[in-house]
Amino acid sequence: MNYPINEHIRPVHFPPISEVKGWLAARPDNGLELIDLCQAVPDYAPAPELTDYLATILEDPLTSKYSPDEGLPEVLEAVCRSYRRIYHAQISPASLCLTIGASQAFWLAIVTLCQSGDEVVVQAPYYFDHAMALDMLGIRSRFAPFDEASAGLPSPAVIESLITDRTRAILLVTPSNPTGAVTTPDTLDELYALAQSRKIALILDETYNSFIQGGLRPHGLFTRPGWGEHLVHIASFGKTFALTGYRAGLLAASPRFIHQALKAQDTMAVCQPRISQHAVRFGLDHLDDWVAANREMMTRRHDLFRTEFLRPGNPFQLAASGAFFAWVRHPWPELTGRQAARRMLDEAAILCLPGEVFGPGLEGYLRLAFGNVRQERIPEAVGRFREVNCE
């Protein structure tokens, strides 16, 4: 290679899902059908009425055009209406930017907040794309360690101890990817107060906010006057409406912050595709009952998974679980997470992710994403964990 590569990107590990799926070509033929617990995507189709609606607008020339960088006004208004229903939010379109999935919303947030040499306090286990992005940008992650006793939920005291004069933000995913654990509103209030007192941002990635059991309000931060001065919110309509390939995400913050973020948006993506925006608006205006039904279905899957996994005789230990995910300790102390995940693929035809891609010192864990496994297959999937040779 004759041209230079950014010194920050070289040491970053390859995308874990791509890495693990690359193992499939060498998987031995043991007669078992693959059960994919690797990637957290809804396995069900979008609502038929949504796809029918999109079919009616495809011939409109405007559907193929740019929109304003932040999104179409009518879509931003639909987001505001939805957030007033879900969060009781004090929110206006000036606080919103539609993005190419939640991942781009995170990049927008970070490049607006930070520069190389700054620090972000990251709760572990973290979503691996976040840490990868911070590393590539030369931003130091200070990790709040995983505490199995609390299912990995954040401790405001521990997080506060990691803040320095270079800290620009606290980063938290709730419901957690990879553990599924949901941070309580009281803890989020404490973290917001901490961010406020230290004059930094609390970045909440709430990609799975539509799957909190019972449809409870995730928190009350959006009801605070001036909430956007210290809260940066990230969401994914792709998960909510089973539109992951449409790349429909959201960044919400103060109007002042969004104004600056739009500079990066224009150089990065210009705008979320109009077809995705129309899908978001239709979903927000018409699919509350459909979303609630899928949340209840996912709750049933989770409950069945826990029941099966926790029956006596399972050599794997369930450390945490929730919307879409289970975080388990594997029974091979001599193996890394990658080695354990490879063994599960070769011996049990289970595809899952190794713990170490979610944070340092987590080689003893595996992430299971049961969101894309039908309920009737969950007992079989868990049965393979019980039957694997642990010697």
Tens-digit pLDDT profile for residues 93-119: 999 999 999 999 999 999 999 999 999
Q: 3-state secondary structure string, the chain? A: CCCCCCCCCCCCCCCHHHHHHHHHHHCCCCCCCCEECCCCCCCCCCCHHHHHHHHHHCCCHHHHCCCCCCCCHHHHHHHHHHHHHHHCCCCCHHHEEEEEHHHHHHHHHHHHHCCCCCEEEEECCCCHHHHHHHHHCCCEEEEECCCHHHCCCCCHHHHHHCCCCCEEEEEEECCCCCCCCCCCHHHHHHHHHHHHHHCCEEEEECCCHHHCHHHCCCCCHHHCCCHHHCEEEEEEHHHHCCCHHHCEEEEECCHHHHHHHHHHHHHHCCCCCHHHHHHHHHHHHHCHHHHHHHHHHHHHHHHHHHHHHCCCCCCCEEEEEECCEEEEECCCCCCCHHHHHHHHHHHHCEECEEHHHHCCCCCCEEEEEHHHCCHHHHHHHHHHHHHCCCC
Report whether 90 contacts 325 (CB < 8 A).
no
User: Between residues 372 and 287, which one has the greater pLDDT?
Assistant: 287
Q: Which residue has the tokens 């209030």?
A: 189
Report whether 251 contacts 233 (CB < 8 A).
yes
How many residues appear in the chain?
Answer: 391
The sign one gets for the Cα dihedral 306, 307, 310, 316 is negative
Tens-digit pLDDT profile for residues 297-334: 999 999 999 999 999 989 999 999 997 899 999 999 99
CA–CA–CA angle 255, 70, 53 (5° rounding) = 130
The sign one gets for the Cα dihedral 64, 68, 69, 73 is negative
Backbone angles phi, psi at 32, to 5 degrees: -95, 140
Backbone angles phi, psi at 364, to 5 degrees: -85, 5
Report whether 246 contacts 276 (CB < 8 A).
yes
What residue ranges define each of the domains in the chain, with the CATH number in brackets? 16-39+290-387 (3.90.1150.10), 48-286 (3.40.640.10)
pLDDT at residue 352 in the model: 95
Residue 160, C-beta contacts closer than 8 angstroms, at least 6 positions apart: 194, 198
Could you tell me the end-to-end alpha-carbon distance of the chain, in angstroms, rounded to an integer? 44
**β-strand partners of 318:** 328
- Distances from the Cα of 206 to the Cα of 124, 323, 348, 359, angstroms: 16, 12, 32, 19
Measured CA to CA, the distance from residue 195 to residue 201 in angstroms comes to 6
Tens-digit pLDDT profile for residues 147-170: 998 988 999 999 999 999 999 999
Measured CA to CA, the distance from residue 201 to residue 109 in angstroms comes to 10
Report whether 363 contacts 355 (CB < 8 A).
yes
Min mean pLDDT across 30-34, 49-53, 265-269, 386-390 is at 386-390
pLDDT at residue 25 in the model: 86
Tens-digit pLDDT profile for residues 273-289: 999 999 999 999 999 99
pTM: 0.94
In one-letter notation, the amino acid at residue 93 is P
pLDDT at residue 251 in the model: 98
pLDDT at residue 43 in the model: 85
Tens-digit pLDDT profile for residues 191-207: 999 999 999 999 999 99
Measured CA to CA, the distance from residue 328 to residue 321 in angstroms comes to 9
Mean pLDDT (the chain) is: 93
Within 10 Å of residue 343's Cβ, how many Cβ atoms? 17
Q: What are 85's two structure tokens?
A: 């229903």
pLDDT at residue 1 in the model: 57
Percent of the chain with pLDDT over 70: 99
**β-strand partners of 325:** 322, 369
User: Between residues 262 and 28, which one has the greater pLDDT?
Assistant: 262
Tens-digit pLDDT profile for residues 53-74: 999 999 899 899 999 999 999 9
Distance of CA 91 to the CA centre of its chain: 23
Whether a cis peptide bond, with omega within 30° of 0, leads into 125 is yes
